[in-house]
Amino acid sequence: MATLSIYVPDQEPYAVDLDGIEQLSVGRGSDNDIVIDHVSLSGSHAVIRNASGVYQVTDLGSTNGTFVNGEQVTESPLSEGLQIAFGNVQVVFSDGEAAPEAPEEPATGSAGVADVAHDQPPVVAEVSNSPANFKNLSPIEKIEKKDTLGQIAIIVGVVAILAAVALIALSATMKAV
C-alpha cells in the first residue's frame, strides 16, 4: 500500500493512501486533491502520478520548488523512503515496503532552500510567516506595526506642548485685561 506521510510545520503529521489513485494534485488551493494550507506552497504546487504502480512527482512551476532528497526537481520517480519537500512541507513516500520515518528538518540557506552541501545540523525556525524569497505582488502596501511606546511618548509630548502654549496664551490674556 503506497502512502504519503505529510509533515506540515506546527501541525500533526498525517498520511494519504495512494492505492488505486492515478493522479493527485498537491497545493494550497482548494481545487487540489491534497490541500496543504501552508504559506510555502503554491496554489497548484505539484502532481503525483501513478503509472501501473510506478509513482512520479512533477513540480508545476511552483514558487518555492519541489525537492526530492534535497535536490530540486521538475520531475522525479518515487521509491521507498524518498523525502519530498513541497516548499517547507516535508513528505515521505512509502510504497509499502517499510514504515515511513519522520524526515529530518533541513538546514535552510538564505533562499529557504535545503542546505545539503554544507552538512550543517538542521535548524528549526521559530516563526515562518513567508518564505525568504517570497515576493509580494499586491498593489496594496503592507501596513507595518508601529512602536506603541513611541507613539504614546509623541502624544504626551504634543499634549505637553499644547498645554504650555495654552498657559502662555492664558497668562498673556490675563495681563492684557
**Which of 6-20, 69-83, 101-115, 158-172 has the weakest average pLDDT?**
101-115
Cα separation, 90 vs 113, in Å, equals 12
Q: Which of 26, 8, 40, 9 is nearest to 134 (CA)?
A: 40
Question: Who wins on pLDDT, 78 or 150?
Answer: 78
pLDDT of residue 113: 43
Q: Residue 86 pLDDT > 80, yes or no? A: yes
At 151, the pLDDT band (50, 70, 90 cuts) reads: confident
Question: Who wins on pLDDT, 111 or 42?
Answer: 42
Q: 39-62 burial, b if ≥16 CB within 10 A, otherwise e?
A: ebbbebbbbbebeeeebebebeeb
**Average pLDDT for the chain:** 80
Three-class SS state of 167:
helix
Contact 92, 100 (CB under 8 A): yes
What percent of the chain has a predicted confidence (pLDDT) above 70? 72
